[in-house]
Amino acid sequence: MAGRIPQSFIDELIARIDIVELVGSRVQLKRGGREWKACCPFHAEKTPSFWVSPDKQFYHCFGCGAHGTALGFLMEHDKLPFPDAVEELASRLGLEVPREDDGRGTRARPGEELHELLAQTLQFYRDTLRESARAKNYLTGRGITQETCVKFAIGYAPDAWDSVLKRYGGSPERERLLAEAGLVIERSGKGESGFYDRFRDRVMFPIRDARGRVIAFGGRIIDAGEPKYLNSPETPLFHKGRELYGLYEARQALRKIERLLVVEGYIDVARLAQAGIAYAVATLGTATTPEHLNRLFRVTSEVIFCFDGDRAGRSAAWRALENALEHARDGRQLRFLFLPEGHDPDTLVGEEGATAFEARLASAQPLSEFLVTQLATQADLASVDGRARLAELARPLLARVPAGVYRELLLERVAQEVRMPAGRLAELLQAQPVTRRGSRPVRSGTRPAAAGRHPLLTQAIMLLLHHPQAARAVGELPAFLEGEHRGFAVLRELLATAQAEPELSTAQLVERWRERPEGARLSQLAAEESLVRDARAAGRDLAMALQRMAAESGPDKRLDELILTSRERKLTSEEQQEFQRLLGARGNGSRG
């Protein structure tokens, strides 16, 4: 496989991304002087202790200690591994992630061959649709125009067992690649070998990633048959619990997405977009997952779930609600729309038009109302026992809602049904959200003052982290930094890096150390508040700190250390020799 992501590319991502915009797409930020603040998304709190610095491109919570760069935020908040976090930032900027040569010759980047194969197969399906009167008649009967087919790149898989296999196979390696892409299935019958096409006689809908690359397909049967919808299996490129059909097309159609409508079918998405409702997306044959919700709220602050009004639809809606509770916070709207019996979105918008359909959206039920009304169906609210049951049913659900105004209002709504003061109900339920594992107790009140005084070495490192340009005030690297103290090596490298690249930001400098043992400590120091506000003052303080450290690291300092050591224990023979040498160099035997 290909090599590492180049450091220069990570530097570019950190330089170009706006951490305030990134964090603000997931957390409701408010300006607080030169920085931005919010209630921490990583632990429960009522007073904001989470700060985002646009100058340092860094975030820090003074309550639980969470801190880091834009990449670190994605890894912590969205639970992404480092390569996926890099991919996410790159997709926001419209960049392709490069890979360094691993020394084993020129090879395609991971997934490149699969992307190319899927793109070729998509073109084959589109060409086949143009030649199939039967498939075109089916789409016309569903109200899908040729223009919409082009916009969504809809195609058709022929009614054959080996059309894709014959076209793109030809060797064992190619057949294995087709299987890895989810396009063919290996035969498993007794005495059978080889592969056959996964998709046959189906209208094909390509599923695309944030950059528009095909990563999978969904196939809809034309006549009666099971399954009605068939999706690609999990592959190196495709994880159905994370992907949303139509999200790429929605982002292409709309400059700013005010809200997203989550429906159940591919044709629903295409038909709604054709009617002018270009903000519909669909899950891929699975319930709405936390990963889906993360993606939705990266794009917009309002999500409407659209379901059939029957029992199955309400059951699916309840599963979506349970997964959505952890995402219900101030500034976000989660609502539910239930359609009339016998209708789905594509038939309803075709029958009544976009204006009437959007009027239904305007009256969609808020999450709070759906939650209360569904719980009320399981309890007799006319009795004390029934109201107590409703409160008990609400307990685990309320506990999953992040602390803030939204949870307080949701608690009040439940209290109305229980006929009890909200404060008293909160005490009885003790519905505290789960805090981040290992988080420290939250300190109430305003933002803490600056950190206490650090040793000189730590102060120097902090000055460089907060103001990399301060390195300009230092000429040649001080000789004492060649000493054995492990902190000297860190300071020496930071100085050398900042002198060579003085335009690096705090976030870029910290990211250079992510995979190294000292990285966590440097990240902590970068998160601390600095009383030095500009690079010029930082340069002056850094030069002074280095001068003092040089003086304290000389022979006299070492001699004093040996004297103190001798009072605690007997010096080793090597220490005795060093002591005599330093004492002679000083020329003063009175301190022996």
Least Cα distance to 27 among 73, 79, 81 occurs for 73
Which pLDDT score, from 0 to 100, does residue 287 have? 82
d(CA 240, CA 248): 15
- Give a yes or no: residue 106 inside a domain: no
| Burial grade of 341 (CB within 10 A; 0-12, 13-18, 19 or more) | exposed
Query: Helix (H, G, I), strand (E, B), or coil: what is residue 234?
Result: coil
- Give a yes or no: residue 537 inside a domain: yes
Which pLDDT score, from 0 to 100, does residue 202 have? 96
Q: What is the CATH number of the domain that holds 478?
A: 1.10.860.10
119 and 82 inside one domain = no
344 and 396 inside one domain = no
Q: Which residues contact 214 (CB under 8 A, 6 or more apart)?
A: 115, 118, 119, 121, 122, 206, 207, 208
Tokens matching residue 169? 């196979």
> What are residue 263's phi and psi, to 5 degrees?
-115, -175
Tokens matching residue 394? 């609400």
Tokens matching residue 382? 């006319």
What DSSP string runs through 497-561? HHHH-TT--HHHHHHTTTTSTTHHHHHHHHHS--S--SHHHHHHHHHHHHHHHHHHTSHHHHHHH
Three-point CA angle 451, 453, 459, nearest 5°: 95
391 and 363 inside one domain = no
- Give a yes or no: residue 392 inside a domain: yes
CB-based contact 499:476 (threshold 8 Å)? no
Which pLDDT score, from 0 to 100, does residue 270 have? 97
d(CA 339, CA 151): 27
d(CA 451, CA 434): 28
CB-based contact 36:52 (threshold 8 Å)? yes
- Give a yes or no: residue 127 inside a domain: yes
495 and 576 inside one domain = no
pLDDT, one tens digit per residue, over 228-275 is: 889 999 998 898 888 999 998 998 888 788 999 999 889 999 999 999
Last residue of a domain, one of 197, 231, 265: 231
- Give a yes or no: residue 98 inside a domain: no
Give the rounded distance of the alpha carbon of 243 from its chain centre: 13
478 and 536 inside one domain = yes
478 and 492 inside one domain = yes
CB-based contact 268:282 (threshold 8 Å)? yes
Tokens 């930001």 belong to 505
Domain range spanning residue 577? 556-591
408 and 486 inside one domain = no
pLDDT, one tens digit per residue, over 319-365 is: 899 888 888 877 789 999 999 988 999 999 999 999 999 999 999 99
195 and 303 inside one domain = no
**Residue-level pLDDT, tens digit, the chain, 592 residues:** 456 788 888 888 888 888 988 888 888 888 888 889 999 988 888 888 999 988 888 999 988 888 989 999 988 887 778 888 888 888 777 788 887 765 544 444 556 789 999 999 999 999 999 999 999 999 999 999 999 999 999 999 999 999 999 999 989 999 999 999 999 999 987 767 889 999 999 999 999 987 788 999 999 999 878 888 899 999 988 988 889 999 989 988 887 889 999 998 899 999 999 999 999 999 987 788 888 888 888 788 899 999 887 888 888 899 899 888 888 877 789 999 999 988 999 999 999 999 999 999 999 999 999 999 989 888 888 888 888 888 888 888 888 888 777 888 888 888 888 888 878 777 777 644 433 333 333 333 334 333 334 677 788 888 888 888 887 877 776 666 665 555 777 877 888 888 888 788 888 888 888 878 788 888 888 888 777 767 788 878 888 877 777 766 655 555 666 666 676 677 777 777 766 776 665 554 433 3
Q: What is the CATH number of the domain that holds 318?
A: 3.40.1360.10
Which pLDDT score, from 0 to 100, does residue 556 have? 56
- Give a yes or no: residue 421 inside a domain: yes
CB-based contact 85:71 (threshold 8 Å)? yes
Which pLDDT score, from 0 to 100, does residue 201 have? 95
CB-based contact 279:311 (threshold 8 Å)? no
Give the rounded distance of the alpha carbon of 29 from its chain centre: 17
What DSSP string runs through 148-186? HHHHTT-EEE-SSSSHHHHHH-SSHHHHHHHHHTTSEEE
Domain count, the chain: 6
- Give a yes or no: residue 522 inside a domain: yes
Tokens 């040089």 belong to 550
Tokens matching residue 422? 């909200």
- Phi-psi map region of 446: left, alpha, beta (phi>0 left; psi -120 to 50 alpha): beta
480 and 528 inside one domain = yes
CA atoms within 13 A on the CB side of 509: 35
Least Cα distance to 555 among 524, 576, 582, 578 occurs for 582
d(CA 397, CA 532): 46
570 and 545 inside one domain = no
516 and 571 inside one domain = no
Whole-number Cα distances in Å, 513 to 243, 323, 506, 509: 32, 35, 12, 7
- Give a yes or no: residue 499 inside a domain: yes
167 and 213 inside one domain = yes
Whole-number Cα distances in Å, 201 to 118, 128, 191, 347, 572: 18, 11, 27, 23, 85
